[in-house]
């Protein structure tokens, strides 16, 4: 019994020693959380903070909003709005807080654990298979196999006969050159899908999540075709890392676009029709920018190279 008390006391002393004394953290609205609810994580220090780094490896949470609070007479601090996306007991990782002045040390927040209540009851089997699918073996009458065998033999005989019979050469008139139809560009296909999505009026039918899922899917499909990255299979954070790695232009605006769609899909955020229309307009302008790029490329191409295929 004494050994057990000694170990508990030792663990408490170690936790106080390992805790970062420069950070004062607190939670708000963290009771009775369920998937999609929001709670607040406040991060303060005796000195002003310039940044709080959120890792891209978050899987059970998403940082919906990060705000730097500047008040008179108080060091600048951060307020993070966090949304859990998976039920169960989950641990939020430690975050690195960077000071405004290099004279102050970097600090780390403490990890904390929250319980996320499932949105759907365990007895709800609406989306669960009642029983596994059953596959039946192919069982045809014997005459079906005889007919197929006869057809195969007949086709083989016809093929052999055609090998020995030389067809007469027929002088064919020179065929007129058929017009060449260029395949639509990737941005043209994306704008066509955008027009079809807007005409479906899913927003006015109350299908907010479906509309924003399809809106983000248009941008993902375009990026996969244009930049040859598996955007349809990536998360938003993975797409952000891929854009940083290959240096895609307007990556900041694209991140804001995906963040807006993700909030409407997963975080129970219902944007106004004006906000949705603004995102649709941004996507259209972004895609139309590739038309200007293609036009400049044609103007910059020497005349001889433009007609090289014709020669």
Closest CA to 101 of 177, 49, 153, 138: 49
Does the pLDDT of residue 92 top 90, yes or no?
A: yes
b or e along 126-147 (b: 16 or more beta carbons within 10 Å of the residue's beta carbon)? eeeeeeeeeeeeeeeeeeeeee
Residue of higher predicted confidence among 161 and 122: 161
- pLDDT, position 292: 78
Does the pLDDT of residue 69 top 70, yes or no?
A: yes
Question: Could you tell me the residue ranges of all domains in the chain?
Answer: 17-117, 186-301
- pLDDT, position 8: 43
- pLDDT, position 77: 95
How many C-beta atoms surround the C-beta of residue 46 within 10 A? 12
- pLDDT, position 309: 45
Residue of higher predicted confidence among 250 and 10: 250
User: Parallel, antiparallel, or unpaired: how do β-strands 74-84 and 61-71 relate?
Assistant: antiparallel
Note the pLDDT tens digit of each residue in 206-219: 888 888 889 889 98
- pLDDT, position 207: 86
Closest CA to 21 of 44, 52, 51: 44
Average pLDDT over residues 271-284: 88
Residue 181 contacts residue 243 (beta carbons within 8 Å): no
Q: Minimum mean pLDDT among 119-128, 150-159, 287-296: which range?
A: 119-128
| CATH 2.40.128 is right for the domain spanning 17-117 | no
User: Nearest-5° angle of CA 146, CA 151, CA 153?
Assistant: 95
Average pLDDT over residues 256-283: 84
Note the pLDDT tens digit of each residue in 44-56: 999 999 999 999 8
- pLDDT, position 307: 47
Residue of higher predicted confidence among 296 and 287: 287
Note the pLDDT tens digit of each residue in 93-109: 999 999 998 899 999 99
Q: Answer yes or no: pTM beyond 0.75.
A: no
Closest CA to 76 of 50, 109, 56, 54: 50
Q: Quick one: what percent of the chain has pLDDT higher than 70?
A: 77
Note the pLDDT tens digit of each residue in 12-47: 444 444 446 689 999 999 888 988 899 999 999 999
Residue of higher predicted confidence among 126 and 230: 230
- pLDDT, position 12: 45
């Amino acid at each position: 019994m004494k050994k057990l008390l000694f170990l508990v006391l030792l663990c408490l002393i170690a936790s106080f020693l390992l805790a970062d004394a420069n950070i004062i953290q607190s939670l708000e609205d963290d009771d009775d959380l369920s998937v999609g609810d929001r709670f607040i994580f406040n991060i303060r220090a005796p000195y002003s903070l310039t940044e709080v780094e959120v890792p891209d490896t978050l899987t059970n949470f998403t940082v919906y909003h990060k705000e730097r609070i500047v008040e008179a007479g108080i060091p600048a601090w951060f307020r993070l709005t966090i949304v859990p996306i998976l039920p169960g007991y989950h641990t939020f990782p430690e975050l690195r807080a960077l000071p405004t002045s290099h004279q102050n040390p970097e600090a780390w927040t403490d990890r904390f654990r929250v319980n996320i209540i499932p949105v759907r009851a365990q007895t709800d089997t609406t989306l669960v298979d009642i029983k596994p699918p059953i596959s039946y073996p192919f069982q045809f009458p014997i005459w079906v196999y005889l007919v197929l065998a006869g057809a195969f033999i007949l086709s083989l005989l016809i093929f052999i006969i055609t090998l020995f019979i030389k067809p007469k050469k027929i002088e064919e008139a020179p065929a007129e050159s058929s017009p060449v139809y260029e395949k639509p560009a990737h941005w043209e296909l994306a704008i066509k899908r955008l027009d079809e999505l807007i005409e479906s009026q899913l927003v006015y039918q109350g299908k907010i999540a479906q509309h924003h899922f399809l809106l983000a899917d248009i941008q993902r499909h375009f990026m996969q075709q244009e930049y040859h990255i598996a955007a349809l299979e990536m998360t938003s954070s993975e797409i952000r890392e891929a854009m940083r790695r290959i240096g895609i232009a307007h990556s900041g605006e694209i991140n804001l676009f995906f963040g807006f769609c993700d909030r409407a899909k997963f975080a129970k955020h219902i944007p106004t029709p004006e906000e949705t229309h603004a995102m649709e307009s941004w996507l259209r302008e972004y895609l139309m920018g590739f038309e200007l790029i293609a036009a400049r490329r044609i103007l910059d191409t020497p005349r001889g190279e433009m007609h090289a295929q014709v020669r």
